[in-house]
Amino acid sequence: MSNISSLLHATYHHPAQRPWAKERELTKSLLMYPIFITDDPDGKTPIDSMPEQYRWGVNRLEEFLGPLVNKGLASVMLFGVPVKIEKDAVGSAADDPKGPVIEAVKFLKNKFPTLHVTCDVCLCEYTSHGHCGILYEDNTINNELSVKRLADVALAYAAAGADCVAPSDMMDGRILAIKRILLENGYSNRVSLMSYSSKFSSSFYGPFRDACDSAPSFGDRKCYQLPQGSRMTALRALSRDANEGADILMVKPGMPYLDIVRDAKNLHPEFPIAVYQISGEYAMLYRSYEAGVFDLKDAVLETLESMTRAGASLILTYFTPRLLDWLEY
């Protein structure tokens, strides 16, 4: 007969008891859906590397999001995909008032007033070289100019009505610069700042770069995105951004970096911790399901349980439309 303290089954033998053992229940309110908006207003083009995901034109957003909002969609994150607008060295199209993101924010805040809208802030979708910042002649990052430009872009999204801006560029000091510009322009109390704080250099971004045509035309992002094996640098990035005025801290990618999610929650329990289940994770899960490896619902829910267990209270995932069917509330 085992020791009394070795008896575990009674803790979770009944289905009603299992949620009591969880860190956090999975609910629709935890989800943010990343979506792609093109500057072809009537467009709906499939993304080959991301089944079930499309690049949407502004005129199609109502038919796309209306049904999801009715099913309980609480928040979206917008990525601009310029197909017509010309790209240049400083990413001028990022805050073009006629550009896809600004038009989409305005439309969404008007059409779905309760929907929370976050704008990803970066330059790579709009620069001719595909890097996330502005470059010097020798192709290294001009951090100062980049940060200034990113702050201007963030301000333009705030002015268009975004509820949250989320810089994914990984330049040094951009959180402080964006917080300052929001404050100076009277947005600090109504536009939150979600930092992609621990964003690692990753092969899992592949399908996204395909979706946005945003792969760097030379080199890679290793000089600004975090080195894969480094936990301590990721922790420095988290506390740096916490001190610079971030409201939400994000870890990205998700599944391969859940140790960092747990660290983030332990070290910064006063912040909501977000985790981004990125395009490559989406494709990996989807393609495995297609190959008969597992049931999609079971596998995806398991990945989300692992994220809340690690400490996340906000999950960005392309599975959101499916999850709105799978989750009850």
User: Is residue 209 part of an annotated ligand binding site?
Assistant: yes
- Considering the candidates 84, 111, 148, 252, report the single residue annotated as catalytic: 252
Q: For residue 81, state whether it binds Zn ion (rule: CB under 5 A).
A: no
Q: Which C-beta is closer to Zn ion: that of 220 or that of 290?
A: 220
Q: For residue 105, state whether it binds Zn ion (rule: CB under 5 A).
A: no
DSSP class of residue 127? B
| Cα–Cα separations (whole angstroms), residue 228 to 24, 122, 231, 265 | 28, 21, 8, 19
The residues of the shown chain that bind ligand PBG, judged by CB under 6 A, are 120, 122, 124, 132, 168-169, 205, 208-209, 221, 278-279
Q: How far is the CB of 213 from Zn ion (least distance, A)?
A: 12
| Cα–Cα separations (whole angstroms), residue 271 to 51, 78, 242, 260, 307 | 33, 22, 8, 14, 16
* b/e code 49-64 from CB counts within 10 Å (16+ = b): bbeebbbbbbebbeee
Q: How far is the CB of 225 from ligand PBG (least distance, A)?
A: 6
Residue 116 to residue 127: CA distance in whole angstroms = 27
Q: How far is the CB of 68 from ligand PBG (least distance, A)?
A: 18
Task: Work out what residue 279 binds among ligand PBG, Zn ion, none; the CB cut-off runs from 5 to 8 Å by kind.
Answer: ligand PBG
Q: For the range 285-288, what are the long-range contacts, defined as Cβ-Cβ under 8 Å and sequence gap of 24 or more? A: 285/319, 286/50, 286/51, 286/52
Q: For residue 249, state whether it binds Zn ion (rule: CB under 5 A).
A: no
- Considering the candidates 28, 71, 109, 199, report the single residue annotated as catalytic: 199
Q: How far is the CB of 254 from ligand PBG (least distance, A)?
A: 10
The reply to whether 199 belongs to the active site is: yes
Q: For residue 132, state whether it binds Zn ion (rule: CB under 5 A).
A: yes
DSSP sequence for 269-323:
TTS-EEEEE-HHHHHHHHHHHHTTSS-HHHHHHHHHHHHHHHT-SEEEETTHHHH
* Sign of the torsion angle spanned by Cα atoms 133, 136, 139, 142: negative
User: Is residue 318 part of an annotated ligand binding site?
Assistant: yes
Q: How far is the CB of 124 from Zn ion (least distance, A)?
A: 3
Q: Which C-beta is closer to Zn ion: that of 108 or that of 122?
A: 122
Q: How far is the CB of 47 from ligand PBG (least distance, A)?
A: 11
**Cβ neighbours around 8 below 10 Å, total:** 9
The reply to whether 252 belongs to the active site is: yes
Q: For residue 122, state whether it binds Zn ion (rule: CB under 5 A).
A: yes
Q: For residue 47, state whether it binds Zn ion (rule: CB under 5 A).
A: no
Among 124, 155, 310, 316, binds Zn ion (CB under 5 A): 124
* Tokens at 35, concatenated: 């979506």
# binding residues, Zn ion (CB under 5 A): 3
Which phi and psi angles does 171 have, rounded to 5°?
-75, 155
Segment contacting Zn ion (CB under 5 A): 14-22, 60-68, 118-126, 271-279? 118-126
CA 174 to chain centre: 17
Is 178 in contact with 151 (CB distance < 8 Å)? yes
User: Is residue 196 part of an annotated ligand binding site?
Assistant: no
Q: Which C-beta is closer to ligand PBG: that of 205 or that of 319?
A: 205
Residue 52 to residue 319: CA distance in whole angstroms = 9
β-strand partners of 176? none
Contact positions vs Zn ion (CB under 5 A): 122, 124, 132
* Residue ranges of the binding site for Zn(2+): 122, 124, 132
Active site residues: 199, 252
* Residue ranges of the binding site for 5-aminolevulinate: 209, 221, 279, 318
* Residue ranges of the binding site: 122, 124, 132, 209, 221, 279, 318
